[in-house]
Amino acid sequence: MTVSKMAQNLIGSEIIKLAGEVNAMIAKGEQICNLTIGDFDPSLYPIPGELRAGITEAYAEGHTNYPPANGVAVLRKAVVDFTRDRLGLTYPENDILVAGGSRPLIYATYLALVDPGDKVVFPTPSWNNNHYCHLSGATPVMVETSPDNNFMPTAADVAPHLEGATLLALCSPLNPTGTMFSRKDLEEICDLVIAENKTRAEGEKPLYILYDQIYWMLTFGNTEHYDPVNLRPELRDYVIYIDGISKCFAATGVRVGYAFGPTVVMDKMKSILGHVGAWAPKAEQIATARFLHQVDAVDVFLDEFKTQVRESLDVLYEGFKELKNDGYSVDAIEPMGAIYLSAKLDLAGKTTPGGHTLQTSKDISFYILEEAKLAVVPFSAFGSDASLGWFRLSVGGASLDSIQASLGRLRAALQQLN
């Protein structure tokens, strides 16, 4: 039996596959510190109590039928208010689109803008853009980034690739690195997009920016989140924002995401998702609308939540820096946002006690899993070369005690290599 060429060549999520293998080991009784999936253990990171109570209340009120295809009006109004008050971005309710998390919204952006063969430019590592290009038939233009700039793209990185491109896909704070755009870097990239669009003939498709800021409330220290339209208001007609509650409220399973941007694009995205039926459950939408208006409750939750996430990230970061200072071939980038640590395990060429020479990032991750009982995701799962010795460590699914214990096992595993 044959299937479409798209389906034949579709690659499944390496992260989900790896997480499945880890969960199978855990089910067999293995004590694994699982830092793979960008998710939260609800026993460690429960959703806000007000949101949980609101969901229960909304179901009790009978909100169990289909929601409007673009989202219930009260939620779209709440998103308008929340985005205006928190980010200084003002969009009308009709330009807000609600869906079951951010994934359908990103996919709808691709389908609304990209024709088969169109160029889509995105940095590596980055989350899933390679797969969305495959699903939409786009020509992927992967821009390699460097740890010297925290794996964030610069204007110099993207400039050679923007001519004739349809979409520039950006994310900050970035999954998988936990790093963020500086104001200068994002401003310079925005200026490139403005300049490129001035070269396009009337009626020619412009260059759009897909700006995924799903982690924007999870920033640490003095780090500040920046976005294209606030920096360059003239880009308003060319930026599609991806946002939602999944990450910043530990509500990945609640499945409420939203997007906003230029009317002409949002209208087409609404039609696409209307046919797909990718809406968030109505009760969850009602509850989210009510919670977003509870300013004090939102602030209290975020303060406590960010403190807990930051503590786990800091323990990992300091642990890797200590290992580096002790002469081991590891490193890490100080976390700036999201729930991820970028960690380097520069172990290619080293030999295991069993006589196997580590060659690729997958070899390294398997060794660390077997010997240190520490599960991490190589950047190769995010479009980077398999030889790159950098990994994503996601702290949402592991306790602080588990993370601390894993660092001792990691040290022992590193000591065994020749």
Please write the tens of the pLDDT for every residue from 202-249. 999 999 999 999 999 999 999 999 999 999 999 999 999 999 999 999
Amino acid at 36: T
Claim to verify: residue 17 and residue 75 sit in the same structural domain: no
Whether the CB-CB separation of 417 and 351 falls below 8 Å is answered with yes
Q: Are 333 and 147 in contact (CB under 8 A)?
A: yes
Residue 20: the pLDDT is 79
Same domain, 332 and 192: no
Q: Give the angle 247-337-287 at the CA atoms, nearest 5°.
A: 25
The dihedral built from the CA positions of residue 111, 113, 114 and 119, taken in this order, carries a sign that is negative
- Residue 91 sits in the same domain as residue 211: yes
CA 297 vs. chain centroid, Å, equals 25
Task: Say yes or no to pLDDT of 1 above 70.
Answer: no
> Are 210 and 74 within one domain?
yes
Q: Two tokens at 354?
A: 């069993």
Q: What is residue 360's predicted lDDT score, i.e. its pLDDT?
A: 93
- Number of Cβ within a 10 Å radius of residue 406: 27
- Residue 106 in contact with residue 130, Cβ under 8 Å? no
pLDDT more than 70, % of the chain: 100
Average pLDDT over every residue of 387-392: 93
CATH of the domain at 187: 3.40.640.10
* Cα dihedral sign, 249-333-36-380: positive
What is the rounded distance in angstroms from the CA atom of residue 69 to the CA atom of residue 54? Answer: 21
14 has a pLDDT exceeding 80:
no
Helices 282-292 and 49-60: crossing angle in degrees, nearest 10, is 140
User: Considering 294, 319, 350, which residue would you say is the last residue of a domain?
Assistant: 294
Can you give the CATH number for the domain in which 29 is found? Answer: 3.90.1150.10
- Half-sphere exposure in the Cβ direction for 120 (13 Å, CA): 29
Q: For the segment 81-114, what is each residue's pLDDT rounded down to a tens digit?
A: 999 999 999 999 999 999 999 999 999 999 999 9
Q: How far apart are CA 406 and CA 400, in angstroms?
A: 10
4: pLDDT strictly greater than 80 = yes
- The verdict on 30 and 140 lying in the same domain is no
**How far from 49 is each of 287, 301, 310, 376, 407, CA to CA, in Å?**
11, 9, 21, 30, 33
| Residue 163 sits in the same domain as residue 199 | yes
Confidence of residue 175 (pLDDT cuts 50, 70, 90): very high
pLDDT tops 80 at residue 141: yes
98 with 114, same domain: the answer is: yes
- Residue 19, pLDDT > 80, answer no
pTM tops 0.85, yes or no: yes
Residue 154 pLDDT exceeds 70: yes
Taking CA atoms, 239 is separated from 247, 266, 352, in Å, by: 21, 11, 48
Note whether 222 and 362 are same-domain residues.
no
Which band of pLDDT confidence, cut at 50, 70 and 90, is reported for residue 17?
Answer: confident
Contact assessment for residue 105 and residue 242, using Cβ atoms and an 8 Å cutoff: yes
The mean of the pLDDT values for the chain is 96
Instruction: Tell me, letter by letter, the H, E, C secondary structure of 104-155.
Output: HHHHHHHHHHCCCCCEEEEEECCCCHHHHHHHHCCEEEEEECCHHHCCCCCH
- Other C-beta atoms closer than 10 Å to the C-beta of 365 total 23
- Do 237 and 91 belong to one domain? yes
Domain boundary among 267, 294, 321: 294
Cα within 13 Å of Cα(102), Cβ side: 21
Report phi then psi at 11, rounded to 5.
-100, 130
Query: Residues 305-317: pLDDT tens digits?
Result: 999 999 999 999 9
Range of the domain at 283: 49-294
In this structure, the answer to whether residues 178 and 65 fall within a common structural domain is yes
Structure confidence at residue 200 (pLDDT)? 97
pLDDT tens-digit series, residues 39-59 = 999 999 999 999 999 999 999
Q: Longest C-alpha distance within the chain, in Å? A: 65
Tokens found for residue 348? 């290619």
Residues 139 and 130: their CA atoms lie apart, in Å, by 9
CA distances from 386 to 76, 346, 349 (A): 42, 12, 14
Residues 151 and 257 in one domain: yes
19-23, 28-32, 76-80, 257-261: least confident range: 19-23
Q: What is the pLDDT confidence band of residue 21, given thresholds at 50, 70 and 90?
A: confident
Count how many domains the chain has: 2
Residue that finishes a domain, picked among 269, 294, 319: 294
Residues 403 and 373: their CA atoms lie apart, in Å, by: 11
Q: How far apart are CA 348 and CA 159, in angstroms?
A: 32
State the angle between helix axes of 263-276 and 102-113 in degrees (0 to 180), rounded to the nearest 10.
120
Q: Inter-axis angle of helices 400-415 and 361-372, to 10 degrees?
A: 110
In whole angstroms, how far apart are CA 204 and each of 165, 166, 191? Answer: 11, 10, 19
E strand map for 237-293? 239-244, 257-260
Residue with tokens 């990945």: 252
Looking at the structure, do residues 54 and 192 belong to the same domain, yes or no? yes
